[in-house]
Homo-oligomer: A and B are copies of this chain.
Amino acid sequence: MSELRKDPIVDRWVIIAAERGRRPHEFEHPPEETAAGAACPLCEGNERMTPPEIWALRNVGAPNTPGWQVRVVPNKFPALRVEGEAHRRGLGIFDLMDGVGAHEVIIETPDHEWRMGDGPTEMVDRVLRAYQARLIDLYRDRRLRYCVIFRNFGPDAGASLSHPHSQIIAVPVVPRRVKSKLSAARDYFQRKERCIFCDVMAQELALGDRIVLENDYFVAFTPFASRFPFELAIYPRQHSHDFATLDEKGRLALADVLRRCLAYLRPALWQPSYNYILNVAPNPVPRPGKPDYWTTLHLDYHWHLEILPRVTRLAGFEWGTGFYINSVSPEDAARFLRDAMADEADGTASGSAEVSAPGGGS
């Protein structure tokens, strides 16, 4: 059983998941890529190599057999387990609890070689449907306070399997970074009666030099204070705290923007590793004695997606301060991505053969 431990000085939780762990000497080599076929536990036909599926989109077939389009399974080596209670407790000055939560893998397609940037939009949309379905289901469990939905692509982004997949980790506390966004949104709303995310998006649209692409539903831009070269944010135009309520039209529009952002990053950065994170609101769990902060629906939050290409390594300065040095201005990055997009539209992009034509939306 893993443990959640809280840093006694800063408000940061850590999962100590030693049972997933490797012996120290095993850190010498990065995990190897799995080839398609017999060895890949996420390929079609190998359904017996994963724990039984939780959710699937299927054309045909019974659960845990071939015939699926998207398949969600528990992680075979979970950081957190769904059984039991958290048993919050102290150890002298320290705080800890049992590693209760959920850790699921969204297998995005049977096709081992698929790249999300290649589309079609409908395949990306199916992945988003899986996120919505799992988010709604996991938030039925009142022990789970927050769901992190993310995708690691490439070895520099921490991906250990190359078959296309995303992950969901549901945790029994609201993480620090989420709390700081929630309280910023709350403070701003109380002061201005407006959403801070809406205002940031309006400012970005007014200035224009960091906008990468937009359609009727979404705006993609390189944030003013980007931490990393080619960092991207995708905000829904319409204020909404709840990703799960995004309807089919909106979901297809997000699938289109997300796919195109990933496609344009590829010629810009030569097949970068990246992480993307879907920033959703916490589970609105009422707790005795806790005032509105915990009991509200977080209506002043605005869900969004962050794409973080992994092209530089963090160094001591960043670790020591939480202060970042970014050597590509977000304005340059946005211009570069817009140029890649224009080249694609002209059919002159060097890598255009592998980038499918833009889908609907816009």
> Closest residue of chain B to A332, judged by CB?
B18
10 closest Cβ contacts across the A-B interface? A150-B316, A158-B315, A175-B321, A277-B320, A177-B322, A275-B316, A21-B327, A5-B225, A18-B329, A27-B311
With A and B bound together, what is the CA distance between A67 and B226 in angstroms?
A: 43
Report the Cα distance A91→B324, complex, angstroms: 20
| Contact, CB under 8 Å: A196 / B9 | yes
Given A158-B313, A175-B321, A177-B321, answer yes or no on A229-B24 (Cβ-Cβ < 8 Å). Answer: yes
Are A320 and B203 neighbours in the complex by a CB distance under 8 Å? no
A14: chain B residues at CB < 8 Å are 225-227, 323-326
> Which residue in B167, B322, B326 is a CB contact (below 8 Å) of A15?
B326
Query: Given A92-B206, A225-B8, A311-B27, do A326 and B199 touch, yes or no (CB 8 Å)?
Result: no
Main SS at interface, chain A: mixed
Measured in the bound complex, the distance between the Cα atoms of B156 and A155 in whole Å is: 13
Chain B residue with Cβ nearest A179: B322
Query: For the complex, is A330 an interface residue (Cβ under 8 Å from B)?
Result: yes
Query: What's the Cα separation between A316 and B16 when bound, in Å?
Result: 17
CA distance in complex: A152, B313 (Å): 11
State the Cβ distance, A243 to closest chain B Cβ, in Å: 13
Given contacts A24-B229, A156-B313, A313-B158, contact A324 B9 (CB under 8 A): no
